[in-house]
Amino acid sequence: MERPELSIAVERAPDEVVFHLAGEIDVLTVARLSAMVNEVLQEPPARIELDMAGVTFCDSQGLGTLVVLSRKAQHARAVLALTNVGDFLMRVLDITGLRSALMISSTA
């Protein structure tokens, strides 16, 4: 079985950082995503965007990480928003009741 991968491309602007995610957000990849977002939160921009367009899978560890990162951003007085959330992930967020815990923006 192949190891799931998550590629993360970072785009920085003066008041926003966008993480373009592609692949799987799961127990094997959340540490890297968390580390990158936590680094940005050291000097937080007004908005952090997680572009989910390329995300193909998100397990419970991934969902929990998204909620934790959102809360950390709030504490840092930044907004963490998910954009380009696919139908499968939107269904998972609805089923788990996490849709209301995360800021989900329509296409940026």
> What are the pLDDT digits (tens) for 56-96?
999 999 999 999 999 999 999 999 999 999 999 999 999 99
Among 54, 12, 6, smallest CA distance to 34 is for 6
Total-model pTM: 0.93
Q: Is the pLDDT of residue 31 over 70?
A: yes
Give the class (CATH, top level) of 7-105: alpha beta
CA 98 to CA 73: how far, in whole Å? 17
